[in-house]
Amino acid sequence: MITKNGIEHIKNFLNNEQIKKLNSEIDEISGSYLINGVTRASTWVNKNLCEINSPVINIKNINLLEIAFKIYKELNDKTSKKFTLSGVRVIIEKKNSHPITWHTDKTKGVIRAIIYLKGGEEDNGNLSYVKESHLKVYDPEAHKIDPVKEGLNEKIVSLNTEVGDLIYFDINGIHKKNTVVRERRVLFFEFHDGLSEKPVGQVIFDNSKITHEIKSNINFLFPEKNKIVKSYSIYSESLPEDTPLKVFYYYLKNFNKIFFTKFKKKLFKFKN
């Protein structure tokens, strides 16, 4: 249905064991922040929104590249296109800290896939989509589009997703993430068809994640020649509003530790 409707929902794509392993490792990494050379860490955009840095590398108990490859095969089966992986993220959101209303990403040839690890129910951060709206060519200035005003009510679907489910959709179609009342935790993947004008996103991974099957389908990882590769940066030029207090505490604690260790070493040298 991806080619006709622009969206597909697959129930129980991950099993309970995989979900449990992922959630406990994400819990662990989300409590550690980038400081003093630590790279297995998380970035907090505000006190209710967080991403795991370089998740393919940092998540060790489950191979995220293998999960992405399983989605890639699913996409190849359902469409006639050869996609390349162009993004892997792990996003944690609480209390609707990143509201998104109806919009189109006005880009053809890009598929976004989401696997729910927490939330995703109809009243807690599920996705709504306007069926067949991916086929339209939108004005370059267009972004927010209200399908109700456009008379597209009958084409709206509100996905009844649950933990473990996979959805994937054409980002050219009109879509929205519904309000996150409690917590929504997702694995987020992006696939590029090699023809889209959108730059291919950079996926950072280590060679330990490349399985034999991935090696034999290397198009999955490498975009066509001459494609512009864009790196994803999650950063802010100023201190984000609502930076969690625990981040300040973590920094203070570590700076103090480093400072006193250096001080003690100097004192010891001086004495001798």
Contact residues for Fe ion (CB under 5 A)? Answer: 105
Minimum distance between the CB of residue 105 and Fe ion, rounded to whole angstroms?
5
3-state secondary structure of 237: coil
Kindly tell me which of 105 and 132 has the beta carbon lying closer to Fe ion: 105
Kindly tell me which of 74 and 105 has the beta carbon lying closer to Fe ion: 105
Minimum distance between the CB of residue 11 and Fe ion, rounded to whole angstroms?
23
Token pair for residue 36?
């003093």
Q: Where are the beta strands (DSSP E) in the chain?
A: 7-10, 42-46, 49-52, 84-94, 110-118, 127-130, 156-158, 166-170, 175-177, 183-192, 200-201, 229-230
Minimum distance between the CB of residue 171 and Fe ion, rounded to whole angstroms?
6
Kindly tell me which of 19 and 130 has the beta carbon lying closer to Fe ion: 130
Minimum distance between the CB of residue 148 and Fe ion, rounded to whole angstroms?
18
State the Cα–Cα distance between residues 245 and 14, nearest whole angstrom: 34
Buried b (16+ CB within 10 A) or exposed e, 96-131: bbeeeebbbbbebbbbbbbbbbbbbbeebbbbbbbb
Kindly tell me which of 30 and 201 has the beta carbon lying closer to Fe ion: 201
DSSP at 189 = E
Closest CA to 104 of 185, 201, 169, 192: 169
Alpha helix (H) residue ranges in 42-84: 55-58, 64-78
Minimum distance between the CB of residue 103 and Fe ion, rounded to whole angstroms?
6
Minimum distance between the CB of residue 9 and Fe ion, rounded to whole angstroms?
17
Kindly tell me which of 21 and 98 has the beta carbon lying closer to Fe ion: 98
Place of tokens 């209710």: 48
Place of tokens 């598929």: 111
Q: Which residue is nearest to Fe ion (CB)?
A: 105
DSSP element (H, E) containing 190: strand 183-192
Kindly tell me which of 66 and 105 has the beta carbon lying closer to Fe ion: 105
Kindly tell me which of 105 and 162 has the beta carbon lying closer to Fe ion: 105
State the Cα–Cα distance between residues 220 and 214, nearest whole angstrom: 7
Minimum distance between the CB of residue 157 and Fe ion, rounded to whole angstroms?
16
